[in-house]
Structure 1
């Protein structure tokens, strides 16, 4: 992709071009830019810094089609061009939800960063507009983006300048990983069964295939090397003996839940910055108490999140029945134990605002983030006629968060 014509925005001329994955200069420049930019709200609140482990494409390269753009300004070090902005995008086919079994080709825009010294010059908007050109070339009908609800500059950029509409308000729920394992079910009445990728695919397509944003290529997600497994929680009697996914689908128990685990730890690392000294001291105190009193009391401790750490992501959370939240809790506790064995320090998941399983997801409120998904219609789609424009559709109970783009 050729660069756009350089434009003068009151500062140095800026050009947008495709990121060169084979260029050490590009890779180093993007890494410097990522380190200079915080993720999340500013104004004295905690900020999350992301280390991409030397791979700027790690958050999109597992998607069916992806692109990364950089913005360059003249007058960089030694008189050369300086990378002052970056954005990533990918295109896939997903379900539109509402039980319609209608799929749409959508684009996801993520990782928008602009150097602190070059903000408020239109660079972010230029990157978004150029990425949208590629989205349209790829046949995408909609584009959407996730941002922190409290990040007012980001929300204004998309809703006021780029034509996006506020769409969904899911929450990112985060649970720290302790020094001890958690019992999946205290009552021992819930069993957790691991499913083979093909069995997991069948279950997802039959039971969650019409959930909003469910990816049509779920098989590629489940077979990815970063996907650590799919787990089904059922009443203990339904798993002894386990008769396979066919029997489960033919006659599921009254309540059940399913979820898969994604290894973000080997893709990127996170670091919390800006925490008050009191918070840091309290976190150290919980770890000290945990070391002193475990394994007898198993004190819930806060892992060290103030230096780079790895994370596991729980995706594809779904289920049915009155006890489904308890089943979801068992899956979350099982995921905690997997993360502990792998050395990850937190387990995160993202759930819709109205998801009934949300009540069963253990998390620490201090670590929770409130997201805002914004959407824009790029072309006609989403079942012309009765269903109309997806951007105006009311939310369903659940939402499927693709781990490849978290």
Structure 2
């Protein structure tokens, strides 16, 4: 997902001479596809060789091409592609009440061929990408990886230099049940907002949330964005977004909002090497659900034998004492959308201290604890005079996870 597959640089085979250059779709597509299929995403689980692999559906740029500015680099050893990395640049909120924005770069999709790891290739790719980040005016660079991926964490915090552990959001994963929708709450009303209404709500209430993108309108109007949904009490008289926002904060009823991103049409994932017990248990749930659907057994889809699609919940936030229940209603609605669309998993990523986290249904064994590392690239930008060094800022309760970078 947003994890990084990287070799623990240094201490292994001798460094090799590689050419790092921009990706050329006409000449590099097949080689990059082979590289992606050979590289796992994230660490093994519990010492077992269980890893996620990514299928980019024939478009290696799919995970960055929706960003305002993006670049993909490859490392070439002779005529062989042995490494790849992607990067994007955008403007986001640094958090806090001042609503300060700065230009940040995101580094993702770092892959090195298993046969060429421990030779400094990952470090060279990162360094070249950082050169482009600086040229593009980015003040900070950040990267997300699985907190348990020690090789990846060491690569950025030690060998690439300057990256510091910054935020630790949780990746919450829920399987999509095969034969039935999740029952909606009768106490909650779900309203689908237009992209313009959603933009108005997000800018009014969440512009001060860390990593909130200034081009939220581009995100909401993207073809992969399936809609934004607002959960309010069933008894609320809804008369429009302007009237809703006009209610003083703290005086309105509890509510929650979330948007859904169709990652299924951008990439697929495959879980390989799962323990036999997991496979048998998942098969048993499907068999029981098929034989007696009226029992509503929570059937686990087949995540092990073939690639599967994902729907991603982003912009999840809320207010009021009942916000977690509202968030749960939104997640149920997202589950039902995913089931009809053929996605097998629904994913949300939220900050550890976010109150709505308590309302997000998830299966702990399928999720992960993310680690976001950040690096300051240069001094002298306008935001630095206002917020100082963002890398040293304490975390807030919420964080905005851009679906274009999932």
TM, length-normalised to structure 2: 0.93
Correspondence for 2:215 among 208, 214, 217 = 217
1:333-344 superposed matches below 5 A:
333-344=332-343
Which of residues 11, 31, 49 is equivalent to 2:53?
49
Shift of 1:100: 2.1
Residue aligning to 1:37? 39
**5+ residue gaps, structure 2:** 1-12
Map of 2:326 onto structure 1: 327
Q: CA RMSD in A?
A: 1.2
2: CA distance between counterparts of 1:323 and 1:259? 15
Which residue of the partner structure matches residue 351 of structure 1? 350
Number of residues of Structure 1 aligned to a counterpart in Structure 2: 385
Specify the alignment match of 1:113 in structure 2: 111
Using the alignment, how far apart are the partners of 1:282 and 1:140 within structure 2?
Answer: 47
- Cα deviations across residues 272-326 of structure 1 (Å, max 9, x unaligned)? 11101111011000000011111x1111011000111101000000110000000
Q: Is the 8 A contact 1:19 1:69 kept in 2?
A: yes
Distance 1:94 1:237, change over 3 A: same
Match runs of 1:97-136 below 5 Å: 97-136=95-134
Normalised to the residue count of structure 1, the TM-score between the two structures is 0.93
Q: Secondary structure at the match of 1:384?
A: helix
Quick one: distance in 2 between partners of 1:124 and 1:402? 24
Q: In the alignment, which of 80, 86, 89 is matched to residue 88 of structure 1?
A: 86
List aligned pairs for 1:168-187, cutoff 5 A: 168-178=167-177, 179-185=179-185
Query: Following the alignment from structure 1 to structure 2, what is the Cα–Cα distance between the partners of residues 11 and 388?
Result: 38
Structure 1 gap ranges (5+):
1-8, 75-80
Q: How far, CA to CA, are the matches of 1:276 and 1:105 in structure 2?
A: 43
Q: How far is 1:44 from its partner?
A: 1.7
Alignment counterpart, residue 65 of structure 1, candidates 69, 72, 76: 69
1:245-273 alpha-carbon deviations (Å, 9 max, x no partner): 01111127321000000000000000111
The answer (yes or no) to whether the contact 1:67–1:88 under 8 Å persists in 2 is yes
Give SS of 1:383's match: helix
Correspondence for 2:233: 235
Match status 1:285 vs 2:281:
no
Which stretch shows the higher mean deviation, 252-261 or 189-198? 252-261
Contact 1:382–1:389 (8 Å) recurs in 2:
no
